[in-house]
Amino acid sequence: MISADLADTFRQQSAVTDPGPHAAAFRALPDDVPGLVRAVQGVMVHVFWAGRYGVELSPERQGEVNLRTVRRIVDRALELDPGALGATRPPGRRVVGNCRDHTVLLTAALRAAGVPARARCGFATYFVPGHYEDHWVCERWDAAAGRWVLTDAQLDELQREALGLDFDPLDTPRDRFVVAGEAWRLCRTGAADPDDFGIHDMKGLPFVLGDLVRDVLALTGEEILPWDPRALMVPLEAEVPAADLPLLDRLAELSSACGSADVTAGEAAWRELRSVVAAEPRLHA
């Protein structure tokens, strides 16, 4: 089991997941994981999947992916449809977001329900065959199972059928969603080709580095937008500086261990990761 201190840490809302004036609406949501996932899916439509739901997006609507916080996402949801937060809206009246937005909404809802949860950034193998696609999922503590579980809140019935999934997204296998630190380790050891990681025409080790930064920040309480810059990142056409490799290897080792089946070791890794992240100014500017 994880310690009471760690459980309390991941029950606390971050600046991003804090629902603010919508706290009561979150408390009124279902208290089970499937119900919370359905609630998230009923309020969000993914920017890349909107057409599959019959929704044509204007540039203005596409811009909703820049809504940084859960509070602003819910503000927009209620502008589009003032119904209860847990009610499934028609796709055209859902907030336009991406995998990160589905993830922070579910993370906020789980935390509001008293479940330790955190956002994870990494790569999914179930969108494009033979490719590690940039993606975010929620990692939640399952007290009954005694382990951290990956839950993909984006994958509703339409997407599951379209993708032909052979697993339950509520318990996504760790070889189907690879956290960014593990992806970095695969690339650094030569077990995987960095050019197989990315999205659209963006790929390579610098992209994996970007997701590593996004993941370690999310693990330590800051769920940044996918396009937020940090000084430790490098342009996609650049080489990762050799001087940074020891730090990046350590961040990858610690972050990939945080969800380990050995929960005691995972907690120790998270505590060390928190210290390393706090001490590195390039992760905060």
Q: What residues form DSSP beta bridges with 166?
A: none
List residues bridging with 202 in a β-sheet. Answer: 199
Long-range contacts: 192-200, Cβ < 8 Å, 24+?
Answer: 192/132, 196/130, 196/131, 196/132, 197/123, 197/131, 197/132, 197/134, 198/132, 198/133, 198/134, 199/133, 199/134
Cβ atoms of 56 and 139 within 8 Å: the answer is no
Q: Taking the domains of the chain in order of start, what are their residue ranges?
A: 4-283
* pLDDT recorded at residue 285: 95
Return the pLDDT at 162: 98
Give the pLDDT confidence score for residue 44 in this predicted structure: 99
Q: Is the pTM of this model over 0.85?
A: yes
pLDDT of residue 235: 98
pLDDT < 70 regions, the chain: none
Q: Which residues contact 245 (CB under 8 A, 6 or more apart)?
A: 188
Range 139-142, long-range pairs (CB < 8 A, 24+ positions): 139/259, 140/33, 140/110, 140/115, 140/116, 141/2, 141/7, 141/10, 141/115, 141/116, 141/117
**Which pLDDT does position 166 carry in this prediction?**
96
What is the structure's pLDDT at 80?
98
